[in-house]
Amino acid sequence: MAQLIEPHGGKGLTCCLLEGAERDAELKKAEGLKKIEISSRVKGDLIMMGIGGFSPITGFMTKEDWKGVCDNFQMADGTFWPVPVTLDISKADADEINAGDEIALYDPEDDEMMATMTVTEKFEMSEADKKYECEKVFMGEGTPTAEEFWKIAEEDHPGVQMVMEQKEVNIAGPVKVLSEGDYPEKYKGVYHRPAESRKLFEDRGWSSVAALQLRNPMHRSHEHLCKIAVDVCDGVYIHSLVGNLKPGDIPAEVRVKCIDALVKGYFVEDNVIQGGYPLDMRYAGPREGLLHAAFRQNYGCSLMIIGRDHAGVGDFYGMFEAQTIFDKIPTPSEPGKALLCKPLKIDWTFYCYKCDGMASLRTCPHSKEDRVLLSGTMLRKSLSEGGELPDHFGRDEVVAILRDYYEGLEEKVEIKTHKAATGN
């Protein structure tokens, strides 16, 4: 019997999703509770708590949790966690809520009641608090001082913008989740709960599983990373974000089609599984790489593929900062509270004309001029502008799907390039 890695936190999968009669009763109760409208990011966090993807987290963080995560990657009880999971509300709403109250969390975009919550604490988030969170969570080696960071962060960093636009008060407390949104139906066969992905791995006899994080269409570099992992693991879980992205990023439905084409045409299908998860990107670079590893552990993955500029945005992070951060995180005193999913660190990969194949900085002795530098940003920029892609940038089947998508767009978003995308 395959022995998969244990879920993060040492408590097994902690799932807050109600079903059947229990859900019906809670929905009815929610109708009489104070209703709080939530953001898309909060909706994704709720679903992950519901299905056990954020195990051991079963509610929104207290101030002590928030501070511990910002300062040293640990919640108040010592459990490793790299980014805050908080719920912001307006001061007007906060004034009507007291500790011990139950409230209903409502998604206005889809007109759906997502959860109920028992409020245990509320704490103000001043401008200084938000800036503190941004500097701790989003500031990287690309902007080594706070002064350099703030010169560009509020205009160019979507994660920073998200935090700075949050409302004035955070509330904490456990949740009961009532819905997974439209993900199970919209991404049928791709969207998995952690218990489902674990069952898929066990049925194949896998124990060593590597996860590939995707928010861009799969190009040749992603394919190469996967194939390296297939050679050293039992299997690879190509796990795409199907929640919200920033303007200009390619929708999940298109990316899922691209992955399907690649898996069917260029992989031994028994060694690869495609999945999707419901979070919005936070664009937290190295910290988000750690988050990706933490929740992939819950999905059953023992390794997290970390390549160049993982979860990066612009030039805020060092090229391999998302790899080196794994060597700097604290080890909690209780083993179950530590991050067990390890990074599979892979150097910058590219197609080399002289090598006549995919290579990396560790294997290829040739010059930059001999290489096709591959990045999701460059792919999006070239296709959105109707440009041609260099040979070997992507598989023909994938490029055809993407061209169809871009030709059908009525409005196009300018795609900015950065050092990690251009190789400069």
Query: Could you give the residue numbers annotated as active site?
Result: 215-216
- ∠ CA 38-39-44, rounded to 5°: 100
**Distance from C-alpha of 379 to C-alpha of 402, rounded to nearest angstrom:** 9
Burial of 95 (0-12, 13-18, 19+ CB in 10 A): exposed
Comparing CA positions, the residue from 268, 197, 241 lying closest to residue 4 is: 197
Per the DSSP assignment, residues forming a β-bridge with 212 are 238
Distance CA 383, CA 7 (A): 40
- Is residue 50 within 8 A of residue 120, CB to CB? The reply is no
Question: H/E/C letters for each residue in the chain?
Answer: CCCCCCCCCCCCCCCCECCHHHHHHHHHHHCCCEEEECCHHHHHHHHHHHHCCCCCCCEECCHHHHHHHHHHCECCCCCECCCCCCEEECHHHHHCCCCCCEEEEEECCCCEEEEEEECCEEEECCHHHHHHHHHHHHCCCCCCCHHHHHHHHHHHCHHHHHHHCCCCEEEEEEEEECCCCCHHHHCCCCECCHHHHHHHHHHCCCCCEEEEEECCCCCHHHHHHHHHHHHHCCEEEEEEECCCCCCCCCCHHHHHHHHHHHHHHHCCHHHEEEEEECCCCCCCHHHHHHHHHHHHHHHCCCEEEECCCCCCCCCCCCCCHHHHHHHCCCCCCCHHHCCCCEEEECCCEEEECCCCEEEECCCCCCCHHHEEECCHHHHHHHHHCCCCCCCCCCCHHHHHHHHHHHHCCCCCCCCCCCHHHHCC
Instruction: Let me know: does 45 contact 107? Beta carbons within 8 Å.
Output: no
Q: Using only the alpha carbons of the chain, give its radius of gyration.
A: 21
